[in-house]
Each structure stands twice: as C-alpha cells, then as structure tokens.
Chain A
Amino acid sequence: MSRTRVGPLTGTPGSQAPALDIDAMIDDRSVGIVVCCGSGGVGKTTTSAALALRAAERGRKVVVLTIDPARRLAQAMGIEKLDNVPRPVPDIDGTGSLDAMMLDMKRTFDEVVTSQATPEKAEQILSNPFYQALSSSFAGTQEYMAMEKLGQIHRQAQKDGSYDLIVVDTPPSRSALDFLDAPERLSSFLDGRFIRILLAPAKGPARLMTAGFGLVTAAMTKILGTQVLKDMQIFVAAFDTLFGGFRARAEKTYALLQADGTAFLVIAAPEEDALREAAYFVERLSEDEMPLAGLVINRATLASDHQISADEAAAAAARLERGARESTEGTAEQSDRTVGLLRLYARRLRLVEREGRLRERFSAAHPQVPTAVVPALPTDVHDLKGLRLIGDLLADRA
C-alpha cells in the first residue's frame, strides 16, 4: 500500500457528502445488526468481515454471517468448512470476540423443513425434485435463507447473550434490491394461484375443478409427462402446511430489519452500474422505512492531491519521450521509466476524475447519505491483516 494519504473523501472531487463515521456506528451499543448490501463483486463480503473484525477488536461480541467469501479469506477466518454454525475466529486482539460462519443455503432450508414438519413429511419433502430445485437454485432462495439464518442467530443471541452485534453479508445478486425483494417473491410464489389450484383437488372442493383446470392439467401432462405432475402435486401438498410458518418467519425478520437496532450499509464500486444499484437501494430503504447508515465506496482510485493535472502529466511524458529520442546522452533508459511513471499518473488521475464525476452524480441526487471511501488496494484482501487495513480505511484511520 502506498504512503499516499488516503481515506474518506480526501482530495477527491465529489466530496460534498457528509463523512460516514464507522467507529461511531460500531461503538454504538444500540446497533445490534449491520447489513451490508450492494451489487455483486463490489466488496460486500470483504467489508462485512473487516467491519466485524474492527468491532470485535473495539470490544464487541460479534458474529459475521458471510455468504461467499474468497477461498483464502475463508481459510484465514477458519470458516472454509461450511458447517453452517458460527465458529470463533482465532487471533482477535482485545476483549471482544468474533465468530464467523459461511452460509450453506441448502442446509439452512433443509433444517427449517426438518424443524417444522413431521419426520415422514420432512422426508417426503426433502427427496422431492421440486423441493431440491427450490432449495438449491430458485432465484431468491439464498436471500431468503440469509434472512432465515439472521433470524435464528438473532433469537439465539437474545436468549443467551452470545453476541451483541450481528454483521450480515448479502448474496452476490445482480441487484442489491434482491435482498429485500426475494423473500417476498418466494413467499408470494409459494402462495401463487397455480399452487392453490394444485392444492385444491387434494383438499376436495369440486367447485375448483373447472373446465379451465382440466385444460391446464391436460396440457401440462402432455408437455411434462405424468410423473412430473405427480411430483409437483406431492411437493405442493407436503409444503402446504409449511407455508404459513415460512411467511410468518420472513415477516418477523423483515420487522427486525426495520427496527432501530439495525443499520444498513450500502457498498458500491465507483462505477456506473454499481452506483445506479446503490441509488435504487437507498431509495428503496427509505420507502420501506429501513435505517440506512451510509454508503461505502469501495475500490476507489484516489490521489493525494493534484500536483499536476492528467493532461500536464501526459504532455510531460510526451515531451520527455521526444527529448530522449533526440538526445545522445545515456539518459534514455532512465527517461523511459519516468515516461512510464507519468503515464501511470495521468491514467490514474483520469480515473479519479471519472469516479469523482460518478460520485458527484450520486451525491447530488442523495446529498444526505453519509459516505466512506475505501481505496482499491493493489492486492486482494485475504487475511486478518488485510481486513484490519480495510477497517482502518473505512474508519479513516489509515
């Protein structure tokens, strides 16, 4: 990492946004849940882990629920085993503690089924191909299960005081909104019209066995074959008793997200798509009355201060190159390096400018959102040391 002084909002355009005070947030004992949202690849998992580590080392009893950590990061945190229970992270400084886990979505779903249904019924559901598809690949299941796990951990923490802060990473969805929408989509899907029709014959009332339905089943049979239809009916019937339970739980977790003790952090890269997603998400949070703590711009290109402009650097590089060609002295090789350095500098400044414009656009539309900026490190973040550095940068203490 360079010694260039970087940190939230130093010397970059687009800095009208108020600064996000990360330490105040994690030191605030009334904050019990922090949810990190954002579109894929922006650094949600890294930020969640860094934040959780920092909070633990500032004395809190923290658990972090990660979704898809990079392999080496998972190894460093000792959570690569995927057993779906929080495990203590070794080598935490100070009096606090940090547990971490990696979400196993299928397992979480299976556990809900086994805990809610009779053993025979659970068996029937678990072996049904429709359930298997739903629990492993239905878009939204991961989000739903992340909420489910959050609910479980929260209930446990309330009971035995094991944690006073839960940091939640969210699935690598294309859209940050998926985290809020998916559980609703899943339950309204399970509550859908067709499913109710499929259930109706099992329950008997002949009035629903309309001509329309006959047509539907006939067509389905023709396309999919009878076995598929049978599997489907078994699945739906077996699942029916669980629907109520599922919906009630999702609603509870949703209420938990709206509560005062929750803080949302939106993570974005300084790129058009990511910032657009972040803007949608910020708007949506306020519509849903969910508490937004702020925006983290991760992997930003920063420059200490503008010694010279991008154009000046590029022009100087060109002059130097020309001079070296014409010169007969032995300085040509050294000049090549300087030309390279000036080009890199110009390039970096252009990126800084571009990112600054994108951020300005965001903060013009959402001027009240507190923001922290974390620079792109030259390497990946794959150990506690890297997480500590990200934590320092988040808190502007690097």
Chain B
Amino acid sequence: MSPSTDSHPTVADPTADWAGVQLHVVTGKGGTGKSTVAAALALALASSGRTVLLCEVEGRQGIARMFDVDPLPYAETKIARGLADDRGHAGSVYALHIDAESALLEYLAMYYRLGRAGKTLDKFGVTEFATTIAPGVRDVLLTGKVFEAVERNSRNKGAMTYDAVVLDAPPTGRIAQFLNVNGELAGLAKVGPIRSQADRVMTLFRSPRTAIHLVTLLEEMPVQETVDGIAELRSIDLPVGAVITNLVRPHELDEEALAAAAERGLDAEDLAADLDRAGLEATDTLVSALLDQAADHATRVELENRQREVVAEAGVPTYTLPQLPGGVDLGGLYELAATLKEQGLGR
C-alpha cells in the first residue's frame, strides 16, 4: 500500500476483506444506490485510518450533493474525515469530479506541453468532439485519470497519494465496456501515447488490487442485471468484488408467522387481544389493516428471498445495507459506512 502524505501510520487490518485492494469500483443498475454506496465505502475506509479518494465520472456532482459541499472542481478536495478508530486514528476522504474535457486538457499539458495548441483545440471544438464521439476516447480519459490517482507515488513530490481510491462508476450496463476500453483500443488509436498507457491501465484493472462491486436491490430487474454484469466482467477477466444489496427493509416476522401471513392465516382475535394489552383500541379497521399489511410483507419477503438466492448463486461475497427510512443525509452516510465496516467491507 502506498504511503500517504498524512503522517499517520496505515492501521488498516491486513487480514480484512479486500485488504489489498487499492481501487474499489462501484457499479450497479441505475438508481440502486451506486453513489451512496461508493460514498459510504469511502467513509468506511477512511474510518479505518486510510486516506481515500472518491471519484465520480458521470458529471452529476452527486458527491457534492451527498456531502453537502459546493460543486467540486477538477481538483482533489478534502470533503470529510472518517470516524476515529479505537486508537484514535481517522483517515480522510478527498473527492474528485473527473470530466473528460478537463482530463484531456490536463493530459495534453502534461505530455505535450501543448499550451497554446491545447487551447486552440478547445476553441475549435476538438476537445468536445474527441470526448463525445471519438469512440472510446472519453472512457480512456476517465479511466486514465483514475489509474493515475491509484498509481501516483510519493516520488512525485508534493502530490497527494491515497491508500485507496473509490470510483462511483457508470451503471452495470456500461461497466464492462468502460473498464475494458483500454483493452479494446486496437481498432482505433493503434499508435500514440494514449495507446501506450492502455496496457498499464489494463494490468491494474485486471489485478487483485482492483475490486468491482455491484450494488443491487432485492428486485427482479436489478438482480438480473447484476448476475449478467458479473458474468460479463468475468468473461473479460475483470475482478468481481462484492455484491452489496441496498435498501433492504427489515423483516419483522419469523418464518412461521410469515407463512401464516401469506395465507392470511394470522389469527385476528389473538391480534386484537395483543393490541388491547398494548393499550390500543383494537378496531376492526386497525386489525384488518395490520393483517393486510402482513400479507403484503410476506409476499415481499418471499420475493426478496428468491432474489437473495439468485444473488447467492453468483458465488460472490455479499453485504447488506438497510433502507434508511428518512433518506440519506451526511449522518446517514456515516451510518451506512459503519454498517459496511461491521460486515467487514472497508475495515
């Protein structure tokens, strides 16, 4: 693990899950909670004493919104501290909003000293062209910047280095194409500097230093996408990490009660007696509202269990995050981070 410029020792437990992973890629179906989980994971890692960089590449300023800070520039910005561990160490979370045009200009400036030409390119709409349509160029630039942040080392004086990088990545439908873009360059940039970096990027992405986590809900479509996504990633030798099932609702009934509820076999009189004991007026409407809800709950649990089995068949470690009833604010992110850590992710 690379040393960080913060002078604290790295205290992360080397036997923890994913201990050797420096790049955590978080993907999933749209809206399942990729950004939320990426942020929580970054906080969990920071709460284990690491210095973490959280990157977003979809141009939405989701990180700024979640952490309640101003929109992020194209510069690494410290946005949060992890919780201190037993020994009082706390790492930090830095964030970076990577956009392809800035990455291209940075790239040109760095490798070509194309000061003036770079600006001219921009003026002629070339950067826009290159980053929107030139096939793959956009993804090459985005992944290239992530690669640079992971591989950056302390020889580069004054540069910030990180123990871990967490990427809030494109959705499952595009993730394989996105991460594999450097492996697919053959059809296009056969020569040139973009090409020469490609192999090194693929080496990192295929190595055990990278883990690609998939966020899902326990619902049919997201689980199907997750299973398909895992198969696709495996088929191109990209390292699948964990599945994180998100927005899981607590189960309040034991199996026997669930089975009874599903068949609408819960006893209304017993229920009424209990309600009475609890000091509630056991009206018929209240009793039947509770029984209806029990039936729905049982149906829902059955569906979730079926989906959980489908997820389990993928043979990937699984972590679970609850649905926070009030939505996710900064406090909620810390809560989710703690839940991940308890289960061993980000420890």
Q: Which residues of A contact B (CB under 8 A)?
A: 1-4, 39-41, 70-72, 129-130, 132-134, 137-139, 172, 174, 189, 192-195, 197, 212-213, 215-216, 218-220, 222-225, 227-228, 231-232, 271-272, 303-305, 307-308, 312, 316-317, 319-320, 323, 331, 334-345, 347-348, 350-351, 354, 378-380, 382
Contact = CB atoms under 8 A, between A and B. Distances in A.
B60 A337 contact: no
Nearest to A269: B31
Given A334-B274, A343-B252, A71 B280 contact: no
A71 B303 contact: no
A320 B188 CA distance: 69
Given A303-B289, A320-B277, A341-B253, 11 more contacts: A3-B292, A41-B32, A189-B132, A194-B128, A216-B117, A216-B121, A218-B117, A334-B274, A337-B257, A340-B252, A345-B290
A319 B121 CA distance: 71
Given A225-B192, A308-B280, A341 B133 contact: no
Contact of B257 (A132, A319, A340, A342): A340
B266 A70 contact: no
A323 B117 CA distance: 78
Q: Is the interface of B mostly helix, strand, loop or mixed?
A: helix
A328 B297 CA distance: 30
Contact of A192 (B128, B134, B289): B128
A225 B278 contact: no
Contacts of B148: none
B225 to A, nearest CB: 10
Nearest to B65: A273
Interface in B167-200: 174, 177, 187-195
B134 A216 contact: no
Nearest to A321: B278
Contacts of B58: 174
Contact of B112 (A137, A222, A379): A222
B106 to A, nearest CB: 13
Contacts of A172: 30
Interface stretch (B91-99, B216-224, B230-238): B216-224
Interface string B251-267: 01110010000000011
Contacts of B275: 316, 338
A338 B286 contact: no
Contacts of A305: 285
Contact of B31 (A41, A219, A222, A320): A41
Contacts of B221: 70, 380
A71 B224 contact: yes
B189 A228 contact: yes
Interface in B99-133: 108, 112, 114, 116-118, 120-121, 123-126, 128-130, 132-133
A345 B266 CA distance: 16
B278 A319 contact: yes
B315 interface: no
Given A130-B134, A225-B192, A312-B280, A338 B271 contact: yes
Q: Is the interface of A mostly helix, strand, loop or mixed?
A: helix
A41 B190 contact: no
Contact of A316 (B112, B128, B193, B280): B280
B279 interface: yes
Nearest to A316: B278
B30 A41 contact: yes
Contacts of B137: 224
A189 B292 contact: no
Contact of A347 (B254, B267, B270, B325): B325
B326 A354 contact: yes
Given A72-B220, A379-B299, A382-B220, A138 B133 contact: yes
B211 interface: no
Contact of A224 (B32, B123, B189, B254): B189
Contacts of B290: 341-342, 345
A382 B221 CA distance: 11
A212 B120 contact: yes
Contacts of A341: 252-253, 271, 290, 293-294
A174 B60 contact: yes
B13 interface: no
B136 A133 contact: yes
A351 B250 CA distance: 14
A145 to B, nearest CB: 16
Nearest to B252: A340
A304 B289 contact: yes
Nearest to A344: B252
B159 to A, nearest CB: 24
B283 interface: yes
B347 interface: no
12 contacts: A195-B129, A215-B120, A303-B289, A316-B275, A316-B278, A335-B277, A337-B271, A340-B252, A341-B293, A344-B252, A379-B300, A380-B220
A157 B174 CA distance: 35
A193 B125 contact: yes
A192 B274 contact: no
A354 to B, nearest CB: 7
Contacts of B249: 347
B71 interface: no
B55 to A, nearest CB: 18
A130 B286 contact: no
Pick the most buried of A40, A192, A312: most chain B CB atoms within 10 A of its CB. Answer: A192
